[in-house]
Amino acid sequence: MKILFFNYEYPPLGGGAANATRYILQEFANMPDLEVDLITSSVDEKYHLEKIGQNIRLHKLPIGKNENNLHFQSQKNLLVYSWRAYIFSRKLVKSAQKNKQPYSLSHSFFTVPCGFLSMLLEYEFGLPYIISLRGSDVPYYSDRFIFLYKFIAPLIKFIWKKSDQVISNSEGLRKLAHKSAPKQAIEIIYNGIDTNQFKPKEEKKHLQNKFIITPGASRLTDRKGINYLIEAIAMLAPKYPQILLKIMGDGNARQKLEEMVKKMQLEKNVEFVGIIPHEKVLPYYQEATLFVFPSLNEGMSNAMLEALATGLPLVSTNTGGASELVFENKNGFIIKFKNSADIAEKLDKLINNPKLIKDMSMESRKIAEKMSWESVAKQYRKAYFDI
C-alpha cells in the first residue's frame, strides 16, 4: 500500500506533531507492506530527499525557514508550504499513476493547511484521505487564531465531512472538535511514548534539589500558561530558595517571560535553557523532580508523555489528554486554569513529601509502559487498510 503523508512540520521544525510524525514513520519503516512519501518543510532554501529504511521517503520543500525561526510557522510559511506541497504532490500522484503504482490514500496531520491539500487531491484524483487532528487545526483551540477561526471554521468542518476518517489524539481534543461539528465521527489514536529512549535515571539527586520542567523543546507561547507557573515559583521561592524552574524551548512569548522573571527578581530560580534538540532532551527530564504543565489548551502533549515515561509526577491543567494521563493523588495533580496559587499549593504538597514524589514517579512509569509508538503505528496501518 502506497501512502501520501502531509505534515508541514518535521524535526527539527515544529513541536509535538513533528515528533509524532517521525516516530510513526520510524515504525512504518518496519512494515514492508507500506510505502510512504512524506511532504514536509525544509529548514533552508533547498529541497532535500531523505529516507527511513527502504520504504519511507521524506520530501522537504523550502518554505523560507532558517535556524532563527524553526519552532514558529508564520502564516506566510504555511501559505508557501501549501502551494509548493500541492504542486509537488500532484506530480507525485501523476507519476505514480503513470507507472501503475498509484497511491492508496493520503494522510494529513492538521486539517489546515494539510487536510485542504488532501481534499484537493481527492477531488482531482479520487484519492481517499485521513485527517489527524493535532490541536491548532480545531476551531477555538488556540487564542492566536481566534479571529481566523471565524472565517475558516466552515472550511475545517467541510474538510472533515469529506474525509474518509478523522482521528483525534485525545478525548479532550475530540470533545472540542465536536463543539463545532457535533455529528462528525471522530476516532481516537493516542500519541505514543518511546519508553526505551525515555526512562528514569537510576540515581536521583537529593530531593532538596528541586527541579521543575515545563514542556520539552516546546514553543513558548501565551497558550502554554508558563506565566502562571512563574508566578507560582515567586510564591514558593521565599520558603524554598532551592526551587528551580527550567524552561526549554523558544517562541514569541519568551521575551515577555524573561522580563517577568527579571521584574520578580527570580533569576536564581528560573532558567531559560533555549531550544534543545529532541534527541538531547532526556537529561533535562531525568534531572527533574516533577513536571508542570499549566497549558490553556492542548491535544495529547508529547512532552507530558515523555515526562511520564521518565517517571515524573505530573502537575497539569485538565486539557487535551491530561485526564487520560494524570490520575489525581496517584501520579500527579490536576491544577486549575490560570491559577498561580493552585499551582503553588500542589507544588508545596510535593516538596514537603518525598515519599509521595517517589510513589507518583513509580506510578507514572507504570502508566507509560502500557503505551508505545509501535501500537500507534499499527492502529494507523489498520485505518489505512480499512479504508
Mean pLDDT of the chain: 90
Question: Stretch 94-108: mean pLDDT, rounded?
Answer: 97
Res. 265: pLDDT tops 80: yes
> pLDDT of 103-153, one tens digit each?
999 999 999 999 999 999 999 999 999 999 988 888 887 766 677 788 889
Q: For residue 71, what pLDDT band results from cuts at 50, 70 and 90?
A: low
CB atoms closer than 10 angstroms to residue 55: 19
Residue-range domain boundaries for the chain: 2-192+372-386, 211-368
> pLDDT of 2-35, one tens digit each?
999 999 999 988 878 898 999 999 999 999 999 9
The CATH code of domain 211-368 reads: 3.40.50.2000
As a whole number of angstroms, the distance between CA 188 and CA 218 comes to: 23
pLDDT of residue 207: 46
Helix (H, G, I), strand (E, B) or coil at 172: helix
Q: Give the predicted TM-score (pTM) of the model.
A: 0.77
pLDDT of residue 379: 95
Nearest CA-CA partner of 248 in 212, 289, 214, 297: 214
Cis (ω within 30 of 0) for the bond into 113?
yes
Res. 216: pLDDT tops 60: no
Q: Which three cell numbers stand for residue 313?
A: 509526577
Share of the chain above pLDDT 70, in %: 93
- Within 7-115, residue ranges assigned H as helices are 16-28, 75-98
Helix (H, G, I), strand (E, B) or coil at 67: coil
Question: Stretch 264-286: mean pLDDT, rounded?
Answer: 90
Relative to beta strand 270-274, strand 244-248 is parallel
Same topology between domain 2-192+372-386 and domain 211-368: yes
Question: Stretch 37-52: mean pLDDT, rounded?
Answer: 96
* Lowest mean per-residue pLDDT among 200-209, 271-280, 305-314: 200-209
Q: For residue 211, what pLDDT band results from cuts at 50, 70 and 90?
A: low
DSSP string, 334-362: EE-TT-HHHHHHHHHHHHT-HHHHHHHHH
Q: Which three cell numbers stand for residue 350?
A: 510535593
As a whole number of angstroms, the distance between CA 3 and CA 10 comes to: 17
Question: Stretch 39-59: mean pLDDT, rounded?
Answer: 96
pLDDT of residue 298: 74
> pLDDT of 306-320, one tens digit each?
999 999 999 999 886
pLDDT of residue 127: 98
Res. 299: pLDDT tops 80: no
Name the residue with higher pLDDT: 159 or 19: 159
Q: For residue 206, what pLDDT band results from cuts at 50, 70 and 90?
A: very low
pLDDT of residue 320: 65
Helix (H, G, I), strand (E, B) or coil at 160: helix
Q: In what order do the strands lie in the sheet with 270-274?
A: 270-274, 244-248, 211-213, 290-293, 314-317, 332-335
- For residues 12 and 277, is the Cβ–Cβ distance under 8 A? yes
Q: Which three cell numbers stand for residue 281?
A: 532532551
Contacts of 18 (CB under 8 A, 6+ apart): 7, 9, 10, 11
Question: Stretch 338-359: mean pLDDT, rounded?
Answer: 93
What's the CATH class of domain 2-192+372-386? alpha beta
pLDDT of residue 372: 87
